[in-house]
Amino acid sequence: MELQGNPQAGAGAGAHAPAEPAVALGGVDITFHLADGGRYQAVKGIDLNVFPGEFVSIVGPTGCGKSTLLNAAAGLLTPSTGRVDIFGKPLAGLNRRAGYLFQQDALMPWKTALENVKVALEPMGVSDKEADQRAREWLARVGLRTFVDRYPHMLSGGQRKRVSLAQMLIRNPEILLMDEPFGPLDAQTRQIMGNLLLDLWSRDRKALMFVTHDLEEAIALSDRVVVMSAGPAAGIVADYKVTLPRPRDIADIRLEKAFHEIHRDIWTSLKVEVQKAYAMGEGRELVGGDVS
């Protein structure tokens, strides 16, 4: 697969960052053994470095193995071949230095917002009193000061994501992994959540891997956008640097000329993969949706 990326992208990424990447994937292949005895190679030959302080989005057609890659970085699954290094050390088991924001609801439904955030501190041995206070601070920071005693089902989708965000960030992980976290939300809520995320992230700039199928979202948020090819055996086809100035407002930034230029560049390489995916039948739902 040829590299269609912007030539200055990959090299520039780590230039002023520390030499050691927070997450380094080297020659990663991931193959699933299916229930019917078959095999499915999700991703193949992935080389990807994410440096501390870097916001990297991964975009690609549906089913291209974006989430698989994230799960490998989290240690939730082990690559069939290749290396996963976290701050220079090979990853064994779960990635203890990472926080993970899931696409689906991951809150414990039997706990209130406060309890859900508090519980994240329990494995770290924080006293109950301190955990309570810190959890309240975090819930206030994500704009849920008055919702602490609500159970997840009493919160909207966006509010639940805010709780998840607080739950992840209260542990102060050095690496943030996000799997289409705002996918199920409506357009306005996504923008608000995007701005909240940027606001929280810009305070201490952790390494962040953000999987999304929304290219605009990826550009608006990121320092780098990595484009993956259509699966099976998906690889990285391009790696673009997004040089838009920060702080950004992700609603306003979409109107800028520079944004459109970057969008056009990346879309040319993404489009090819999206069409390939449709041709292979991955896009059936969407095509069906258009017809009806």
Partner 1 sequence: MKRIKLLSLQVLVMLVFLGAWHVVTTTSLFGDVKTLQFFFSTPTAVLTRTFKQLTSGDIYWHLGITLTETVLAFVIGSLAGILFGFAFARRELLSAVFDPYIKAANALPRVVLAPIFALWFGLGIWSKVALGFTLVFFIVFFNVYQGVREVSPTILANARMLGMNERQLFKHVYWPSALTWMFSSLHTSVGFALVGAVVGEYLGSSAGLGYKIHEAESVFDVTGVFSGMLILAIFVIAIDAVVTLVEKRLLVWRPGQSATTA
The answer to the question of residue 120 lying near partner 1 (CB under 8 A) is yes
Decide if residue 99 touches partner 1 (CB under 8 A).
Answer: yes
Choose between 100 and 182: whose C-beta lies nearer to partner 1: 100
Query: CB 155 → partner 1: shortest distance, Å?
Result: 9
Length of the chain: 292
Looking at 2, 7, 34, 110, which residue binds partner 1 (CB under 8 A)? 110
| Cα distance between residue 69 and residue 80, in whole Å | 12
Smallest distance, partner 1 to C-beta of residue 206, A:
15
* Of 28, 46, 74, 228, the one binding partner 1 by CB under 8 A: 74
3-state secondary structure of 48: strand
Angle, in degrees to the nearest 10, between helices 128-141 and 157-169: 130
DSSP run (H or E) holding 278: helix 257-279
Q: Which is nearer to partner 1, 70 or 233 (CB)?
A: 70
Bridge partners for 112 per DSSP: none
- The single residue among 39, 40, 122, 252 that binds partner 1, judged by CB under 8 A, is 122
142 touches partner 1 by CB under 8 A: no
User: CB–CB of 94/76 below 8 Å?
Assistant: yes
What is the smallest separation between the CB atom of 71 and partner 1, expressed in angstroms? Answer: 9
Q: Can residue 156 be called a binding residue for partner 1 (CB under 8 A)?
A: no
125: region left, alpha or beta (phi > 0 left; psi from -120 to 50 alpha): left
Least gap, CB of 46 to partner 1 (angstroms): 21
Residue 150 found at the interface with partner 1 (CB under 8 A):
yes
Which of 49-57, 120-128, 187-195, 241-249 is the region at the interface with partner 1 (rule: CB under 8 A)? 120-128
Task: Note the Cα 146 to chain centre separation in Å.
Answer: 28
Within 10 A of 74 (CB to CB), how many other CB atoms are there?
Answer: 21
- Give the interface segment with partner 1, choosing from 18-26, 51-59, 143-151, 207-215 (CB under 8 A): 143-151
Which ranges of 33-156 would DSSP assign to H, the alpha helix?
66-74, 113-118, 128-141
- Between the alpha carbon of residue 117 and those of residues 112, 135, 163, the distances in Å are 9, 6, 7
Site of interaction with partner 1 (CB under 8 A): 74, 76, 94-96, 98-100, 102, 104-112, 119-120, 122-124, 149-154, 164, 167, 171
